[in-house]
Structure 1
Amino acid sequence: MLPATRRALLQRTAVAQSEGRAPSLVAAVVRDGQPVWSGARGSVDGQTPDGTTQYRIGSITKTFTAVLVMRLRDEGLLDLGDPLEKHLSGTGADGVTIGQLLAHTSGLAAESPSPWWERTPGTLRPGLEDVLGERPFRHPSGQRHHYSNPGYTLLGSLVEKLRGAPWAEVLGREVLEPLGLHRTSVQPQAPYAPGLAVHPWADVVLPEPVEDLGLMAPAGQLWSTTEDLGKFAVFLAQGNERVLSAESVREMRTPAALPEGGWESGYGLGVQLIRWDTRMLAGHTGSLPGFVACLLLSEKDGLAAVALANCTSGPLIATLTGELVQIVADAEPRIPETWRPAPEVDRAVLGLTGSWYWGTHAFGLRLVADGGIELGPLSPGGRRSRFLAEAEDTWIGLDGYYAGETLRAVRRADGAVSHLDLGSFVFTREPYEVGAPVPGGVDPEGWRGSRS
Structure 2
Amino acid sequence: MTTAPAGLLPGTERALIHRLAVAQSEGRLPSLVAAVVREGRIVWTGSRTSVEGHGPDADVQYRIGSITKTFTAVLVLRLRDEGLLDLGDPLEKHLPGTGVGEVTIAQLLGHSAGLAAETPGAWWERSSAALRPELSDVLGENPQPHPVGRLHHYSNPGYTLLGSLIEAVRGVSWEEALRSEVLDPLGLTRTSTRPVAPHAGGWAVHPWADALLPEPAEDLGLMAPAGQLWSTAADLCRFAAFLAEGDDRVLSAASVREMRTPSAPPEAGDWQNNYGLGVQLSRQGGDRTLAGHTGSLPGFVAGLWISVEDGVGAAVLTNSTSGTAPSVAADLIRTVIEAEPKLPAPWRPLSEVDPSLLELTGPWYWGTYTYGLRLNADGTMALEPLRGQGRASRFEARADGSWVGLNGYYQGEILRAVRRPDGSVSHLDLGSFVFTREPYGPAEVVPGGVDPEGWRGV
CA contact (8 A) 1:259 1:267 kept: no
CA–CA distance in structure 1, aligned partners of residues 98 and 243 of structure 2: 30
Number of the residue aligned with 1:80 = 87
The residue matched to 2:378 in structure 1 has which SS? coil
2:95 touches 2:101 (CA, 8 Å); kept in 1?
A: no
Question: Could you tell me which residue of structure 2 aligns to residue 400 of structure 1?
Answer: 408
Offset, 1:342: 2.1
User: How many Å separate the matches in 2 of 1:140 and 1:375?
Assistant: 39
1:249 to 248, 251, 256: 256
Deviates more, 1:437-446 or 1:285-294: 437-446
1:353-380 CA distance string (max 9 Å, x none): 1111111111111122432111121135
Q: State which drifts further: 431-440 or 388-397.
A: 431-440
Instruction: Name the structure 1 match of 2:3.
Output: none
- Contact preservation (8 Å) 2:246, 2:252: yes
Q: TM-score, normalised by structure 2?
A: 0.95
Matched, 1:308 2:284: no
1:240 aligns with 2:254: no
Would you say 1:7 and 2:28 are equivalent positions?
A: no
Which of 35, 46, 54 is residue 61 of structure 2 equivalent to? 54
Q: Secondary structure at the match of 1:240?
A: coil
| Partner of residue 91, structure 1 | 98
What residue in structure 2 maps to residue 341 of structure 1? 349
Which aligned pairs between 1:62-211 and structure 2 lie closer than 5 A?
Answer: 62-211=69-218
Contact 1:43/1:49 (<8 A) preserved? no
Instruction: List alignment gaps of at least 5 residues for structure 1.
Output: none
Amino acid at match of 1:288: L
CA contact 2:436–2:445 (8 Å) conserved in 1? no
CA distance in 2: counterparts of 1:218 and 1:414, whole angstroms? 61
SS of residue in 2 equivalent to 1:59: helix
1:85 shift after superposition: 1.3
The residue number in structure 2 matching 1:284 is 293
Matched, 1:265 2:250: no
Q: Would you say 1:446 and 2:454 are equivalent positions?
A: yes
Deviations 1:112-164 (A, max 9, x none): 11111111122211111111111011211111110011111111111111101
- 8 Å contact kept, 2:303–2:327: no
Using the alignment, how far apart are the partners of 1:38 and 1:46 within structure 2?
16
Give the C-alpha shift of residue 421 in structure 1.
Answer: 1.4
For residues 296 and 449 of structure 1, do their structure 2 counterparts lie closer, same or farther at Cα, with a shift above 3 Å needed?
same
- 1:44, CA displacement in angstroms? 7.6
For residue 412 of structure 1, report the CA deviation from its aligned partner.
2.0
* TM-fit CA distance, 1:413: 2.1
- Selected match of 1:373 from 381, 386, 395: 381
Per the TM alignment, residue 393 of structure 1 is displaced from its structure 2 partner at its CA by 2.6
Bigger mean CA deviation after superposition, 422-431 or 230-239: 422-431
- Provide the residue aligned with 1:30 in structure 2: 37
Shift in alpha-carbon separation, 1:4–1:191, aligned structure 2, 3 A: same
Count of paired positions: 449
Letter of the structure 1 residue corresponding to residue 382 of structure 2: E
Cα 1:369–1:296 shift into 2, 3 Å: farther
Q: Distance in 2 between matches of 1:364 and 1:442?
A: 22
2:302 corresponds to: 293
Does the C-alpha gap of structure 1 residues 166 and 43 become closer, same or farther in structure 2, counting only changes over 3 Å? farther
Q: How big is each residue's C-alpha offset from its partner over 1:320-376, in whole Å with a ceiling of 9 and x where there is no partner?
A: 111101111111111111112122233322221111111111111112243211112
Cα displacement (A) at 1:402: 1.4
Contact 1:84 1:96 (8 Å CA) reproduced: yes
Q: Which amino acid is the alignment partner of residue 46 of structure 2?
A: G
Bigger mean CA deviation after superposition, 39-48 or 328-337 = 39-48
Kept in 1, the 8 Å contact 2:373–2:381? The answer is yes
Matched, 1:225 2:232: yes
Structure 2 stretches lacking a partner, 5+ long:
1-7
Q: Secondary structure at the match of 1:249?
A: helix
Secondary structure of the residue aligned to 1:203 is coil
Q: Deviations over 1:181-231 (max 9, x none)?
A: 000011110000011111111111111111111111111011100110010
In the alignment, is the contact (CA less than 8 A) between 2:30 and 2:320 conserved in 1? yes
By how many angstroms is 1:172 displaced? 0.7
Conserved 8 A contact 1:350-1:367: yes
Superposed, 1:344-355 pairs within 5 Å as 344-355=352-363
3-state SS of paired residue (1:66): helix
Change (3 A) 1:207 1:29: same
Q: Does the CA contact (< 8 Å) of 1:60 and 1:286 recur in 2? A: yes
TM-score (norm. length: structure 1)? 0.96
Percent of residue pairs bearing the same amino acid type: 67
More moved, 390-399 vs 236-245: 390-399
Q: Which amino acid aligns with 1:357?
A: Y
Q: Does residue 1:332 correspond to 2:340, yes or no? A: yes
**Hey, what's the Cα distance between the residues in 2 that align with 1:172 and 1:224?**
13
CA displacement at 1:45 relative to structure 2 = 11
Q: Deviations over 1:270-327 (max 9, x none)?
A: 11111112211111100000000000111121100110000100x3122111110111
1:356 counterpart residue number: 364
- Structure 2 CA distance, aligned partners of 1:95 and 1:195? 39
Question: Distance between the aligned counterparts of 1:428 and 1:226, measured in 2?
Answer: 53
Question: Is the Cα–Cα contact under 8 Å of residues 145 and 260 in structure 1 kept in the other structure?
Answer: no
Which deviates more, 392-401 or 53-62? 392-401
Distance 1:121 1:188, change over 3 A: same
Counterpart Cα distance in 2 of 1:252 and 1:241: 15
- How big is each residue's C-alpha offset from its partner over 1:5-41, in whole Å with a ceiling of 9 and x where there is no partner? 1000000011101111111100111111111111001
Paired residue secondary structure (2:65): coil
